Structure 1
Amino acid sequence: MAALQPNADLNTTWAYLEQGIDQIMNRMEEGLTYDRYMQIYTVIYNYCTSSSRVQGGSQTDGISLGSQSQRAGASLTGSDLYNKLVKFLEHHLNKIRKECEQLMDESLLKYYNTQWKRYTTASGYVHHVFGYLNRHWVRRELEEGRKHDVYDVYTLALVSWKQHMFHHVQNNVMIAVLKLIEKQRNGESIDIHLIKNIVDSFVSLGLDESDSSKLNLDVYKQYFEQPFVEATELYYKAESEKFISENSIPDYLKKAEKRLEEEEDRVSIYLHATTHAPLIGKCEIVLIKNHSEAIWEEFQTLLNADKQDDLHRMYTLLSRIPDALDPLRTRFETHVRKAGLSSVEKIANEKDSEPVDPKTYVDSLLEVHAKYRDLVQRAFKGEAGFVASLDKACREFVNRNKVCKTSAAKSPELLAKFCDYLLRKSAKNPEEGELEDILNNIMTVFKYVEDKDVFQKFYSKMLAKRLVNATSASDDAEASMISKLKSACGAEYTSKLQRMFTDISLSKELNDSFREQMQLNHDASEFGGVDFSVLVLGAGSWPLTAPTTAFSIPEAVVKPYEKFGKFYNAKYSGRKLNWLFQLSKGELKGTYMKGSKVGYTLQVSAYQMGILLQYNQADSLTFEELSNATQLAPEALTPALTILCKAKVLIQSGGNTVGEPGSKYDLNFDFKSKKVKINLNVPIKSEQKGETEETHKNIEEDRKLLMQAAIVRIMKTRKTMKYVNLVDEVITQLQSRFKPKVTDIKKCIEILLEKEYIERVEGRQDMFNYVA
């Protein structure tokens, strides 16, 4: 084609340009040479800068320099070409649209996609050949505020497609797209690249009219996303209702899980990322929320059958819906509580006639907790709400089960007894590693115990016995348990327990010092072969009580007893020794038994020792004679005699029961035993029961003092408080140790009113002042 003269008029110029643009738009496959490209570009440049179209001004730069008349000429010239291009694009798109309107379904999508690709590619070339127009005329139009209908050429092409093509065919295109996606949902193979390209075309048409260089998603959201999400809702609503009516809930959960995964993949493969939230949100409502009641009803069945995979699937799906897990947490809590109560009831029924074994009891609690802790971790991913439900349920069945009905303090008491069983020397002591695991399990139960002060009281009493009797299996295990209690409840909770160990260590040093002094003074020979040692324990740290009876110390131990008293008083002036003979013990060598070549060693309490040593002077003594000789009260003498008679060391004659007035006790010369060393220092049930009752009584007294101290502490800080607020604050401060009863707090307030620590506000019965 011949070159065009620089001063050609508009019609001539456009006729030339139209051939080139038509080739770009419709016959790109023929190719556009570089020379041809430059010819078209030059014609546009020449036309825009021709002096005949510039009114009064410099010919050198009719676009960017010169007077106002020059800018007007440039504007007019650019406008002519721009308007010609607008009409060309409209005519071109009208032709495409007519063909497009004859097609449907997948053939429509393929045609639309092909034309879109060709059109946008060609528009890029046209944009470049109109580069001069873009850089000068279009730019100036935009700068002078005429933005509503002027764009760079490529944007103009997209605006034209949207106006003359898209708005006319988009409805049919979307119908075809939705049919194709439905086919895919029904399991058929489709051309996902085709849908991806259609989606991209919708996104590309989102033009920001205030800034043509920017895109928005308005077209995509209005014409694609909205109808797509609506169609998705209708599809899954029909499918889910039909499926759930014909299949089990576990099968439905698998179906819903699969469908959600498919939609997630759909977004990542061929949808815009912003569709994820509305699409998945709608699917969650249709597939999960709308069927949540039916899903909730199945939860109990799955729990009963321990279907962890199905429970995990149910949890995962429902966790997508706000508050949808709440009913599951409530039902889970109820289920665990019932399981725990049932487990305890089973062992309680088995042993109705005898006390519950602490190990069996604690094991039953741990078994339930371990089972449902694992369930929470595996099925519910350790979610905080289910952990809280597990804790609430465990707290209930640990503190309010059948065993606890006789006493609310049963759990902490039995837990302390189980600790004693583990930490006391025994042939059944577990290995060190195993013991540590068991102690950790005990702390799990301890966490749920409400009356931690009861555990502390029983544990300290049992620890004291282990230390006094040297029956601890392992000092390391004892220290480990105290460390765990300290971590759980603080240093104050274990301070006395730790001081008990300190006293034992100091006592060993004191005994060594005593023996050294006796040897230096040659006093040890006066002891008559008696091996004498003493535990000196601080009264404030040890849960020990004074003897309830007088006791005449046996002659054999009088001298070492007196010597140690003098030694101690000389070493620690101002301190007072209180001897607890009811906790003392010793060993006696029996050489009187017939048929025994070496004799038996009898391990006895101090009271039993006092009784047996009387038989060095007589073979038979009455109850009254023994009472006079030992000075023991009947309530202390009778239990000691009972064990000696039961072991057949003594034989009762006269009287039906041990301890009757006039009953007589003979030394058994025919005593026999398979063991050489026989332990007679064992408590009897009546003593244990009395000790337990006394411990509970002490606990109640301690609680009253703690509540009073808390009330005074609170009132001292707050000065004035209402009754209700004071009660709430006392409960809050003390609940880590025990749960105070409101009636007990009220009694403590009355006591403090009488003692004038606090007073009622005048005219207000429900408000108190602190009395400084």
Structure 2
Amino acid sequence: MTSTSTSTSTSASTLPAFTDLNATWTFIQPGLEFILGAQNEQGVTSTMYMNCYTAVYNYCVNKSRRGSTPASIATNTENNSYSLAGAEIYNKLDVYLVQFIRNLKKMPNESFLEFYVRKWTRFTIGAVYMNNVFDYMNRYWVQKERSDGRKDIFDVNTLSLIKWRNEMFQPNCDILISQVLELIEKQRNHLIVDTNLISTAIKSLVFLSIDIQDLKKPNLIIYVNSFEKPFLEATMKYYSKESSDYLANNNVVDYMKKCETRLAEEISRSNTYLEDHSKKAFVDILNQAMIENHAQEMYGQFIILLEQKQIEHIQRMYKLLSRISKTLDPLASALEEYIKKEANSALEEIKNQTEAEIKEGKRKAGSGVEPKVYVNTLIAIYNQFNDIVIQAFNKDTKFIRSLDNACRYFVNNNVIAVPKPRAASKTPELLAKYADGFLRNSAKDSDIVDMNADNLMIVFKFINDKDTFEEHYRRSLAKRLINGTCKSDELEESVIHRLQEENSIEYTSKMTKMFSDMKASEDLKLKVKEKINSGSGGSGGDCIIKDFNPLILAQSMWPFRHVPEYDLNVAPELAAPFTNLKAVYTEQHNGRQLQWLWNHGRAELKANLSRKGKPPFSFTVSNVQLMILIAFNKKNSYTFKELHEIVGTKRETFEAHLAPFTKYKLMDQSTEEITDDTVFTIVEEYKSKKLKVNFISAIKTNEAKQEEDEASKEIDEARKTYLQACIVRIMKSRKQMKNNELINEVLPQTSSRFKAKIIDVKRVIDVLIEKEYIKRIGDTSFEYIS
């Protein structure tokens, strides 16, 4: 017969009988008291711990026995099934934990929160050790019970937490959370508090959020329902009141500084106390209470800060509002409208200044705003607000878009660009003139110090009618190439390359071909020179031309489609180069025809009209003027009729080219009014302060107006062709389309070149119907005719 130990001390050397549940429990209970800290917070000794572990182990191991069934007894056979022990001692522990927790007492002058944190901390440490004491039971009996479907059986550590939740937390939840929130509010009011109490209490809720159906599943239900919701409500209430009170007594800038401080404090607090689950909702509450609810007050201060150029405070406002993306939209819209207003004021100012200078006689009537002044004003506005977007708005795409929208508006629509309603914008033309200003070698460095390709490209990006710019730019480029006034080929090609990058290869294809023509003309020039020098092309020795620079230009690429009828008679002294040029070109390109552009040519000639001992004058003249002056090599005087018959061209053109010679006193005119009998006599001694005299600049013709009209016509024709090609391409792909669908697809495809109008698209559609590219189907649809 086995003896049973009834010792009540776990330090006793004699362990209880493994068959006696009560004796075993009586043996280990004092040890559990020490483990859980019931004995004046004292811990358990190693001997006591090992005795408790051994007692539980002996009971579970030896109590587990080979079981018998009624069937095995009747047949006198053994059943090899094995029954694990643990239920009895598990139930004892369950009852003990409930009683232990209920018996915990609060110290005098101790708040419930302090009591809770003190006991929780000790209890959870003890629960870990107690879990180890019952390790054997956990690993075998508990695991088997749970695998058999017993979801109400837990390892000892989990059982301890569940009992704490049921017996300590749930009955006292309201007072615990209330005291936690009170302490957080005190901390917000900058009072000194024990932050460990807050963090430990909150973390306990996470440990207590146990899903008894699935212990491995993450669960925050206790934390969320008991703490997170009231915490967020308290935060909203606190900061709603504080924000309103502060704004009632302080300005917006100080309020924004206050927000920055408060947000930093709360973010730090959230990192200390809160679970990740709560952080987004917490930040949203802060943003709503401090920022979103008072965004209108910030918007009201925004324009003032812009006017005062308070970049630091604008940046502060942006950083706060950027925490709630939707609150930035009104700010971005306000910026866009402000930029438009500032641009309009700046452009109005330079327009009024120009008009005042015209009234004072400082500028010619009708001269308008100088391209340089206009473009530099656009650039100054862009740079001013681009700096703000970079510095204050951190290159935020919303504000970049606002800047771009505003720039696109005021670049194309302002009092200078559109002086009359519904007129085409003049910005593309003015921009082309601006480019010509710094690309011509005749420009003074002091005049172009603030003009460059970077500024050109900034404005180019915003113009709607890029085809208009291309036409005017190409015309000024043509003049620079023909007259040899390019500052440098490298600079010209660099600008064209940048235009190509911003738009397309197609956009700059004609400009590129113009450069190719110039290089091809150089090769042709050498061959003509060789032919003249060899004597095979006629009497080269009698020719008075020392340097002949022919340019062969492809008509479809250069902006000279409509050539004025000059019918200029080439002087015999100049015939050889022209004859040889035609012969060489025809030999290389059989079947092609040359058409002379007399109005675009120029000549530099030496005039021996100086006093003795002085160098000859150098005259820059047009081709018509060249023929006039060469005639005076034979005699000093001609009647108007004689001279006109020698030179040719229409009378109107002839008079215009002749007038500068009398104006600058190179010739004497016999009568004030010109008739056929008016005699023109060249002076024997020309007087001028300059040795180089440009007579071309004094020619007054309507060619400039014709060229402007021609450019407008060229742009209109090109747009019609472009729209036709675009519509045909779309219809060929889609076969059938409704009217609105077709228009909506055409408009975006033309935006890279110009801003097409719906009425223009409709007119082109009618043209294509007449040309039988498409046909109508009913009243609202079209079909492609294959």
2:362 equivalent in structure 1: none
* 1:627-666 per-position Cα deviation (integer Å, ceiling 9, x unaligned): 233212133123222332333323445336xx67765544
Kindly tell me: are residues 3 and 735 of structure 1, through their superposed partners in 2, closer, same or farther at Cα, counting changes over 3 Å? same
Kindly tell me: are residues 84 and 685 of structure 1, through their superposed partners in 2, closer, same or farther at Cα, counting changes over 3 Å? farther
2:363 equivalent in structure 1: none
Does the 8 Å contact 1:719/1:769 carry over to 2? yes
1:10 equivalent in structure 2: 21
Aligned partner of 2:719 among 685, 688, 703: 703
Does the 8 Å contact 2:337/2:406 carry over to 1? yes
1:197 equivalent in structure 2: 200
- Give the AA of the match of 2:692: K
* 1:537-560 per-position Cα deviation (integer Å, ceiling 9, x unaligned): 222221124232221212321233
1:253 equivalent in structure 2: 256
> Counterpart of 1:323 in 2: which secondary structure?
helix
Kindly tell me: are residues 145 and 747 of structure 1, through their superposed partners in 2, closer, same or farther at Cα, counting changes over 3 Å? closer
Kindly tell me: are residues 549 and 212 of structure 1, through their superposed partners in 2, closer, same or farther at Cα, counting changes over 3 Å? closer
Does the 8 Å contact 1:207/1:216 carry over to 2? yes
2:517 equivalent in structure 1: 503
Instruction: Map 1:248-397 onto structure 2 (within 5 A).
Output: 248-352=251-355, 353=358, 354-397=367-410
Distance 1:550 1:228 in 2: 95
Does the 8 Å contact 1:424/1:466 carry over to 2? yes
1:137 equivalent in structure 2: 141
1:417 equivalent in structure 2: 433
Q: Which moved more, 1:461-470 or 1:223-232?
A: 223-232
Distance 1:79 1:284 in 2: 54
1:32 equivalent in structure 2: 44
Structure (1 or 2) with the greater helix fraction = 1
> Counterpart of 1:351 in 2: which secondary structure?
helix
Kindly tell me: are residues 746 and 81 of structure 1, through their superposed partners in 2, closer, same or farther at Cα, counting changes over 3 Å? closer
2:653 equivalent in structure 1: 636
1:672 equivalent in structure 2: 687
* 1:257-282 per-position Cα deviation (integer Å, ceiling 9, x unaligned): 22222211111123222221111111
2:131 equivalent in structure 1: 127
1:48 aligns with 2:60: yes
Residue 357 of structure 1 and its aligned partner are, at CA, apart by 0.9
How many residue pairs end up in the alignment?
749
> Counterpart of 1:588 in 2: which secondary structure?
strand
Residue 5 of structure 1 and its aligned partner are, at CA, apart by 4.1
Aligned partner of 1:566 among 575, 583, 598: 583
- Give the AA of the match of 1:667: I
* 1:174-223 per-position Cα deviation (integer Å, ceiling 9, x unaligned): 22222221122112233323322222222111222123455522222222
Distance 2:477 2:432 in 1: 10
Kindly tell me: are residues 730 and 91 of structure 1, through their superposed partners in 2, closer, same or farther at Cα, counting changes over 3 Å? closer
- Give the AA of the match of 2:686: F
> Counterpart of 1:721 in 2: which secondary structure?
strand
Residue 685 of structure 1 and its aligned partner are, at CA, apart by 7.7
Aligned partner of 1:111 among 103, 106, 115: 115
Instruction: Map 1:684-695 onto structure 2 (within 5 A).
Output: 684=700, 686-695=702-711
Residue 465 of structure 1 and its aligned partner are, at CA, apart by 0.9
Kindly tell me: are residues 238 and 704 of structure 1, through their superposed partners in 2, closer, same or farther at Cα, counting changes over 3 Å? same
Aligned partner of 2:663 among 646, 665, 676: 646
1:60 equivalent in structure 2: none
- Give the AA of the match of 1:131: D
* 1:504-554 per-position Cα deviation (integer Å, ceiling 9, x unaligned): 111111111222222223742131464333112222221124232221212
1:479 aligns with 2:493: yes
- Give the AA of the match of 2:429: E
> Counterpart of 2:615 in 1: which secondary structure?
coil
Kindly tell me: are residues 661 and 710 of structure 1, through their superposed partners in 2, closer, same or farther at Cα, counting changes over 3 Å? farther
1:588 equivalent in structure 2: 605
> Counterpart of 2:210 in 1: which secondary structure?
coil
- Give the AA of the match of 1:703: R
Kindly tell me: are residues 431 and 175 of structure 1, through their superposed partners in 2, closer, same or farther at Cα, counting changes over 3 Å? same
2:3 equivalent in structure 1: none
> Counterpart of 1:602 in 2: which secondary structure?
strand
TM-score, normalised relative to structure 2: 0.89
Kindly tell me: are residues 457 and 214 of structure 1, through their superposed partners in 2, closer, same or farther at Cα, counting changes over 3 Å? closer
Residue 756 of structure 1 and its aligned partner are, at CA, apart by 3.2
Does the 8 Å contact 1:3/1:39 carry over to 2? no
Kindly tell me: are residues 669 and 518 of structure 1, through their superposed partners in 2, closer, same or farther at Cα, counting changes over 3 Å? closer
- Give the AA of the match of 1:616: N
Does the 8 Å contact 1:237/1:286 carry over to 2? yes
Residue 247 of structure 1 and its aligned partner are, at CA, apart by 1.4
Does the 8 Å contact 1:429/1:473 carry over to 2? no
Distance 1:306 1:39 in 2: 79
Distance 1:729 1:226 in 2: 52
- Give the AA of the match of 1:14: W
Does the 8 Å contact 1:760/1:768 carry over to 2? yes
Residue 6 of structure 1 and its aligned partner are, at CA, apart by 1.5
Distance 1:613 1:556 in 2: 8
Q: Which moved more, 1:614-623 or 1:32-41?
A: 614-623
Distance 1:247 1:110 in 2: 39
Distance 2:535 2:441 in 1: 37
2:454 equivalent in structure 1: 440
Distance 2:128 2:607 in 1: 117
Residue 691 of structure 1 and its aligned partner are, at CA, apart by 2.0
Kindly tell me: are residues 284 and 669 of structure 1, through their superposed partners in 2, closer, same or farther at Cα, counting changes over 3 Å? same
> Counterpart of 1:760 in 2: which secondary structure?
strand
* 1:711-730 per-position Cα deviation (integer Å, ceiling 9, x unaligned): 33333333333333333333
> Counterpart of 1:603 in 2: which secondary structure?
strand
- Give the AA of the match of 2:470: Q
Distance 1:70 1:571 in 2: 111
> Counterpart of 2:618 in 1: which secondary structure?
strand
Kindly tell me: are residues 40 and 409 of structure 1, through their superposed partners in 2, closer, same or farther at Cα, counting changes over 3 Å? closer
Distance 2:54 2:585 in 1: 121
Residue 429 of structure 1 and its aligned partner are, at CA, apart by 4.1
1:769 equivalent in structure 2: 783
1:516 equivalent in structure 2: 530
* 1:407-459 per-position Cα deviation (integer Å, ceiling 9, x unaligned): 42411111111111111113524899x89x92122111111111111111111
Q: Which moved more, 1:527-536 or 1:267-276?
A: 527-536
Aligned partner of 1:233 among 211, 236, 239: 236
> Counterpart of 1:403 in 2: which secondary structure?
coil
- Give the AA of the match of 2:55: V
Kindly tell me: are residues 559 and 459 of structure 1, through their superposed partners in 2, closer, same or farther at Cα, counting changes over 3 Å? same
Distance 2:207 2:388 in 1: 50
- Give the AA of the match of 1:109: L
- Give the AA of the match of 1:36: M
1:735 equivalent in structure 2: 751
Kindly tell me: are residues 178 and 31 of structure 1, through their superposed partners in 2, closer, same or farther at Cα, counting changes over 3 Å? closer
Kindly tell me: are residues 539 and 641 of structure 1, through their superposed partners in 2, closer, same or farther at Cα, counting changes over 3 Å? same
Residue 466 of structure 1 and its aligned partner are, at CA, apart by 0.8
1:99 equivalent in structure 2: 106
Does the 8 Å contact 1:551/1:630 carry over to 2? yes
Distance 1:662 1:209 in 2: 123
TM-score, normalised relative to structure 1: 0.91
Does the 8 Å contact 2:65/2:82 carry over to 1? no
Kindly tell me: are residues 224 and 453 of structure 1, through their superposed partners in 2, closer, same or farther at Cα, counting changes over 3 Å? same
Distance 2:701 2:300 in 1: 51
Kindly tell me: are residues 697 and 662 of structure 1, through their superposed partners in 2, closer, same or farther at Cα, counting changes over 3 Å? farther
Distance 2:676 2:759 in 1: 47
1:89 aligns with 2:97: yes
> Counterpart of 1:601 in 2: which secondary structure?
strand
Does the 8 Å contact 1:655/1:662 carry over to 2? no
After superposition, the CA RMSD in angstroms is 2.7
Residue 41 of structure 1 and its aligned partner are, at CA, apart by 2.3
